[in-house]
Structure 1
Amino acid sequence: MTADELAARLEVAPTTASLVVGDLSGKAILDRYEDPSDRRRRIVAIAPDQHDAIAAWLAPGAAAWRRVLTSLAPAQRRLIVDTLRAYEAAVAEEREH
Structure 2
Amino acid sequence: MSTEAAVRELLLVMPRLVGRVKRIPPPEQLRGLDLAPRHLSLFSLLLLDGPMTVSELAAKLGVAPTTVSLIVGDLTRKGVLVRREDEADRRRRIIDISADSRPAISQWLSPGAHAWRHALDPLTAEQQRAFIDTLLRYEQYFAADG
Runs of 4+ in 1 over 4 A off after TM superposition: none
- TM-score normalised to structure 2 length: 0.50
TM-score between the two structures when normalised by the length of structure 1: 0.69
Higher strand share: 1
C-alpha separation in 2, matches of 1:76 and 1:19: 32
Unaligned runs of 5+ in 1: 91-97
Asked if structure 2 preserves the Cα contact closer than 8 Å seen for 1:35 and 1:43, the reply is yes
The structure with the largest helix share of the pair is 1
If you compute each CA radius of gyration, which structure gives the higher value, 1 or 2?
Answer: 2
Structure 2 gaps, min length 5: 1-51
In the alignment, what sits opposite 1:83? 138
Identity of aligned residues (%): 45
Bigger Cα displacement from structure 2, 71-80 vs 47-56: 71-80
What RMSD over aligned residues (CA atoms) do the two structures have, in Å?
Answer: 2.6
**Residues 1:85 and 1:47: Cα distance change in structure 2 (over 3 Å):** farther
Aligned residues: 89
Encode CA deviations 1:39-79: one digit per residue, 9 max, x unaligned: 11010011011111111111111222333345482222112
Structure 1 residues 62 and 45: CA distance shift in structure 2, 3 A: same
Is 2:120 the counterpart of 1:65? no
Shift in Å, 1:86: 5.7
